[in-house]
Amino acid sequence: MAQTTTNTSALTWKQEGHVALVTISNPSARNALTRTIFDQGLELFRSFRRNPDIRAIVLCGDGAHFSGGGSLTRMQEQRGKPKHLQAEHVDQCHAWILAMRECPQPIIAAVEGAAAGGGMALAMACDLMVAAEDAKMLMSHTRIGLSPDCGATHWLSRALPHQLALELMLDPSSLPVARLQQLGIVNRIAEKGQAISDAMAWAAVLAQGPAAAFGRVKTLTYAAEHRSLSDQMDAERDFVVESIYGDECGEGIHAFLEKRPARFDVNALTVAG
């Protein structure tokens, strides 16, 4: 498939095969997160849900860094404006993150350089993470007297014992990427400068998988955080029944019995849940 490119003022995205590479593009400010980025991210990721030709997504930063988080200049200006405007700003960021979680496609964060504050939280909001060996990831909010946002307390409190989650948020020092991998926050470590290419290669493999099944796996995994075991098993039952009569499962069974690789239909992508 020919590569296509679409540009916006703050996000760029291009399609390579069945993978969308989404880039936070504000390099002069270490890809600081802005309202424009939130607006465009929300619209873009909602559109991916309806696009069966996109089967995996990689999120990265433009240039040397993933994202340094919120703009301190904007925050300083905001202090002279009504509080409700700041609440609306954060709500729009959170709406984008929820849209990412609702995408049936697997989303991989490719982290080079700094991923600080909201930038680290955004990386953790992705389903998977590839980080360069020299990446600097830290929850920097308390350095300027802020508490975390962008879902950071949610991701960390579920991934780690509270002592470790609080260490990351109360002591805003970066941990080595190898340590973050040991803690389960980073999936794979790449050589310096190779995080995006490694993430794209992983996404290309995932893009060949059963798209509808992947969507159901994401839905089940994130719903398990707030369901009882009984309710979760009921949801698993319903998705198993839905899956076993679908084209993907039919192809998977035939391929296994015929001792050949499965060829999953691109058009099988559906929004689960």
CATH fit for domain 4-206, picks 3.40.190.10, 2.30.40.10, 3.90.226.10, 3.30.300.30: 3.90.226.10
pTM greater than 0.75: yes
3-state secondary structure of 124: helix
- CA–CA dist 253, 251 (Å, integer): 6
Mean pLDDT, range 26-39, rounded to an integer: 91
- CA–CA dist 254, 106 (Å, integer): 25
Domains of the chain, residue spans: 4-206, 211-268
Alpha helix segments (H runs only) across 190-259: 195-206, 211-223, 229-244, 247-257
With a cut of 60, say whether residue 266 has pLDDT above it.
Answer: no
- CA–CA dist 252, 261 (Å, integer): 8
Mean pLDDT, range 213-217, rounded to an integer: 94
Q: What six digits make up the tokens of 214? A: 């992947």
Mean pLDDT, range 5-30, rounded to an integer: 84
Identify the pLDDT of residue 107.
98
Q: Decide if 130 contacts 108 (C-beta within 8 A).
A: yes
| pLDDT per residue as tens digits for the range 139-185 | 988 888 888 888 999 999 988 999 999 999 998 887 899 999 999 99
| pLDDT per residue as tens digits for the range 42-88 | 999 999 999 999 999 999 999 999 999 887 787 777 788 888 888 88
Dihedral sign (CA 176, 181, 183, 187): positive
Identity of the amino acid at 257: L
Domain 211-268 falls in which CATH fold? Lyase 2-enoyl-coa Hydratase; Chain  A, domain 2 (1.10.12)
Q: Decide if 119 contacts 149 (C-beta within 8 A).
A: no
